[in-house]
């Protein structure tokens, strides 16, 4: 009987220690959630980092909302996208609404010979924020070898989703390092968190953006540069083909207002509280379950698309 007492005492303290540890973890998680999603870093992004913000893919969706939010905070904005007509329209809207200076650079990010033109357009500007937003996905989920015009799709996805991030960073980062301040916000995707079958190339390119951002942040945070990887789930955009915002699929305006407050607080973020919860659940799912759910969903979307478009 006496010999059982030390064992019982040991188990008691193990149990008490476990409860205390879990309590502290929960308390810390709640504190972090309040700090990030409740308070946020409202003053973290603005002209104090530099006069100008540069946003790629800035005429629609998340890119346009980042451009508007940065202009609202008093930053001058360089809008970079493919269509000069759309650029002119968005530029006029921002000038009229926020009373800030804008510039436009019309380039097609599927090409690789555009960066000298961008470099010339950015020459002499004090750039405090770069938003690498331009991106491309599949038209619909598809098996790798069955993607229509596969070679061209490979080239486009790599140029738009990977090369643009590296090249734009190469152009803007030296000035930030020289001034010891700046923020680079790279828009990845929840599809870059874990592999997504039937969106293979897109998922892989967005994983690259995430890893690139995290590595760059560690390399340059000691030099005053904050690099953020933004990994949203679905947002109501043309790219996602979602028209009506919901609680878990916010409008681009709602998403960006939330995401921009995480700059300086989270170098890797989903940008939105509901997406943060979804990301936590996503990360703890066993691989077999995750792949079963994800593959099944994309097979269903593929079948629906092919049926609608009468493809075999």
CA pair distance 28, 221, nearest whole angstrom: 24
What are the structure tokens assigned to 136, written together? 């491309």
The residues assigned a catalytic role are 202
Structure tokens at 75: 């930053």
Burial class from Cβ neighbours inside 10 Å (0-12, 13-18, 19+) for residue 4 reads exposed
Which pLDDT belongs to residue 33?
59
Confidence of residue 310 (pLDDT cuts 50, 70, 90): confident
Query: CA 2: distance to chain centroid?
Result: 60
Which three-class secondary structure string do you get for 170-214? Answer: HHHHHHHHHHCCEEEEEECCHHHCCCCCCCHHHHHHHHHHHHHHH
Q: Indicate if the pLDDT at residue 89 is higher than 90.
A: yes
According to the model, what pLDDT value does residue 3 have? Answer: 56
41-78: pLDDT as tens digits? 666 799 999 999 999 999 999 999 999 999 999 999 99
Query: Residue 287: is its pLDDT beyond 80?
Result: yes
Q: Are 53 and 98 in contact (CB under 8 A)?
A: no
Residue 39 lies in a domain: no
Whether residue 115 is contained in a domain is answered as yes
Which residue, 44, 56, 37, 35, is CA-closest to 183? 44
Q: Does residue 26 belong to any structural domain of this protein?
A: no
- Into how many domains does the chain fold? 1
Say if 43 falls within a structural domain.
Answer: no
Q: 260 in a domain, yes or no?
A: yes
Mean pLDDT of the chain: 90
pTM: 0.88
Report d(CA 82, CA 156) in Å as an integer: 14
Look at the chain and count its residues: 312
The answer as to whether 19 is a domain residue is: no
CA triplet 308, 309, 312: central angle to 5 degrees? 105
Of all residues in the chain, the percent with pLDDT exceeding 70 is 86
55 within 8 A of 63, measured Cβ to Cβ: yes
Phi and psi dihedrals of 54, rounded to 5?
-120, 130
Count helices and strands in the chain by DSSP H and E runs: 10, 7
High-pLDDT (> 90) share of the chain, %: 81
Q: Is residue 272 part of a domain?
A: yes
Q: Do 236 and 242 form a contact (C-beta atoms < 8 A)?
A: yes
204: domain CATH number is 3.40.50.720
Residue 40 domain-assigned (yes or no):
no
pLDDT in tens, 37-46: 565 666 679 9
Of 212, 167, 170, the C-alpha closest to 187 is 212
| Distance set, CA 176 to CA 51, 56, 231 (Å) | 12, 18, 24
List the domain range (segments joined by +) for residue 129: 49-285
């Amino acid at each position: 009987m006496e010999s059982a007492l030390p064992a019982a005492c040991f188990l008691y303290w193990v149990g008490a220690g476990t409860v205390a540890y879990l309590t502290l973890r929960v308390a810390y998680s709640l504190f972090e959630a309040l700090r990030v999603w409740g308070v946020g870093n409202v003053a973290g992004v603005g002209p104090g980092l530099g006069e100008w913000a540069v946003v790629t893919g800035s005429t629609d969706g998340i890119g346009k909302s980042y451009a508007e939010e940065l202009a609202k905070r008093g930053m001058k904005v360089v809008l970079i996208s493919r269509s000069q007509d759309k650029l002119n329209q968005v530029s006029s809207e921002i000038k009229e609404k926020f009373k800030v200076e804008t510039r436009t650079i019309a380039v097609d990010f599927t090409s690789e010979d555009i960066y000298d033109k961008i470099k010339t357009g950015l020459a002499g500007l004090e750039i405090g924020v770069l938003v690498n937003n331009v991106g491309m996905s599949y038209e619909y989920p598809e098996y790798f070898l069955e993607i229509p015009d596969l070679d061209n799709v490979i080239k486009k996805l790599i140029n738009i989703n990977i090369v643009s991030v590296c090249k734009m960073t190469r152009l803007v980062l030296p000035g930030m390092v020289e001034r010891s301040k700046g923020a680079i916000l790279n828009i990845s995707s929840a599809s870059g968190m874990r592999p997504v079958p039937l969106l293979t190339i897109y998922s892989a390119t967005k994983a690259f953006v995430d890893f690139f951002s995290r590595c760059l942040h560690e390399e340059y945070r000691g030099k005053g540069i904050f690099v953020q990887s933004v990994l949203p789930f679905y947002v109501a955009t043309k790219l996602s083909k979602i028209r009506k915002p919901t609680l878990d699929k916010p409008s681009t305006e709602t998403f960006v207002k939330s995401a921009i407050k995480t700059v300086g607080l989270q170098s890797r973020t989903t940008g939105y509280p509901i997406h943060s919860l979804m990301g936590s659940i996503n990360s703890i799912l066993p691989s077999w379950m995750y792949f079963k759910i994800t593959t099944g969903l994309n097979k269903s979307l593929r079948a629906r698309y092919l049926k609608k478009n009468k493809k075999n």
